[in-house]
Copies of this chain bind each other. A is one copy, B any other.
């Protein structure tokens, strides 16, 4: 028992010190085990009441906001003719192996309980490529909205979780250049406009332009990927630091770094593309030339879509993942001018994607390639913004769609309420009642105020005799007697905007 008390003290101390929650959890578990052995809490274990690190519950209010965002995204995907698929939450471990480079360490593995070795999916792109190869599909436009899992350091207030949704739209198939790529950018533009998240910019680049640039700047082939990773940091870190990483840590020559430094400062539109196509060095590089040619075509299509105003061809955009082979892009929200500066924390990228023409081939036994391009919407960050905005506003969000509360003014009318609500349900009306035998009318009306139910159908002795129901409009307190056989129609009309 002394040992138990000592352990309890340890836990208390850790909690006071605000220690790492994982550590606390471990010590608590130890404490519980000791207590259990003592038989002290027989059958009455004390639980650590929490969700796992980096995860959260969604209550009804959060769900209402989440569904709004999903609806905007799904309607857009459907507007563009996408089918929908779903895959299991876990994959064979080897399916994920060798796809994510350094980030592989963030993959959640399942315990070996006999049978196959499994891992939770890290994104939706690799399962999609596995699905295409497995079913020999060479042509599909699909969306997939599901949770993915990363053992990353969570930053929950900024919308960074270990369990989070991705909303992916991808076009797979051999098509004429840049038409599907342009559609992906149009989709990002539509969704971000639709969600009214404020001003944004979609940065675009091409892996071939980056690789060509590295080549003409004198980066050795073997250092392309690692220098690319350094460039990827430019959105968070100033060029000086990136340069010193390139030269110091990664052993690039200062001259090569300086040449890169000139390029990565460039961003613009068609004019910049034209200028680079004339660049004496870049224009000599086959990859860069291909990439720039396609970038020009892309901008022509984006002009036809009328969205170049929010697109920036940006040579500093690199993207983390290994599997991209062509166009890459990333959408960033810009600071709101009318917000307090101290609150305007950049949420960073809210959407990203690109072309990955080699990934499906990695799964095909004969290496047959299926070119793909796709976009992933980062719903958690968008959701954080919507949630903060709703909290700041006065808007009261409804979490149910109930049209009418079936109520009674007198006692002993439970049976009548049950009969009426059953009629309404069977007619497709969304109806609730209080689960009490004799609820007070005031409580029933209060329930409507609290939950936003617009109508109350009140049964009473007199109304029953007269074959009517008293319909009360909560907002105006107006009351009308409606013949029972017209009630369904009356409720429909009065809530038709719902």
Per-position binary interface string of chain A over residues 1-37, scored 1 when its CB falls under 8 Å from any chain B CB and 0 otherwise: 0000000000000000000001001000100100000
CA distance A87 to B432 in the complex (A): 25
Per-position binary interface string of chain A over residues 65-84, scored 1 when its CB falls under 8 Å from any chain B CB and 0 otherwise: 01100000000001111111
Would B22 and A436 count as touching, CB distance under 8 A?
no
Chain B residues contacting A401 (CB-CB under 8 Å) are: 78
For window 411-452 of A, CB contacts with B under 8 Å fall at 414-415, 418-419, 422, 425-426, 428-432, 435-437
Would A110 and B111 count as touching, CB distance under 8 A?
yes
Would A142 and B60 count as touching, CB distance under 8 A?
yes
A66 CB, min distance to chain B CBs, angstroms: 8
Say if the beta carbon of A466 comes within 8 Å of chain B.
no
Would A52 and B113 count as touching, CB distance under 8 A?
no
Would A83 and B60 count as touching, CB distance under 8 A?
yes
A64 CB, min distance to chain B CBs, angstroms: 8
Say if the beta carbon of A45 comes within 8 Å of chain B.
yes
Per-position binary interface string of chain A over residues 449-462, scored 1 when its CB falls under 8 Å from any chain B CB and 0 otherwise: 00000000000000
Chain B residues contacting A175 (CB-CB under 8 Å) are: 435-436
Other-chain contact of A98, B45, B114, B171 (Cβ < 8 Å)? B45
Chain B residues contacting A90 (CB-CB under 8 Å) are: 52, 55, 163
A78-B401, A111-B109 given; A95·B365 CB < 8 A:
no
Say if the beta carbon of A147 comes within 8 Å of chain B.
yes
Say if the beta carbon of A176 comes within 8 Å of chain B.
yes
Chain B residues contacting A56 (CB-CB under 8 Å) are: 88
A22-B115, A79-B425 given; A55·B88 CB < 8 A:
yes
Would A435 and B142 count as touching, CB distance under 8 A?
no
For window 271-307 of A, CB contacts with B under 8 Å fall at 300-301, 304-306
Chain B residues contacting A399 (CB-CB under 8 Å) are: 83-84
Count of residues in A whose CB is under 8 Å from the partner chain: 102
Say if the beta carbon of A92 comes within 8 Å of chain B.
yes
A176-B435, A425-B190 given; A84·B60 CB < 8 A:
yes
Say if the beta carbon of A270 comes within 8 Å of chain B.
no
Would B79 and A435 count as touching, CB distance under 8 A?
no
Would A52 and B116 count as touching, CB distance under 8 A?
yes
Residue of B nearest to A437 (CB): B176
Residue of B nearest to A127 (CB): B57
A304-B415, A435-B179 given; A63·B84 CB < 8 A:
yes
Say if the beta carbon of A390 comes within 8 Å of chain B.
no
Say if the beta carbon of A49 comes within 8 Å of chain B.
yes
A22-B116, A80-B425, A179-B435 given; A419·B92 CB < 8 A:
no
Other-chain contact of A432, B80, B110, B419 (Cβ < 8 Å)? B80
Chain B residues contacting A78 (CB-CB under 8 Å) are: 400-401, 430
Chain B residues contacting A437 (CB-CB under 8 Å) are: 176, 179
Other-chain contact of A180, B52, B130, B362, B435 (Cβ < 8 Å)? B435
Say if the beta carbon of A396 comes within 8 Å of chain B.
no
CA distance A306 to B415 in the complex (A): 12
Sample (12) of A-B pairs whose CB atoms are under 8 Å apart: A45-B97, A47-B94, A53-B115, A57-B88, A58-B85, A60-B85, A81-B430, A175-B436, A176-B435, A186-B422, A186-B425, A304-B419
Instruction: List 7 other contacts, CB 8 Å, given A57-B134, A108-B110.
Output: A51-B92, A60-B84, A63-B85, A78-B401, A80-B430, A89-B149, A179-B436
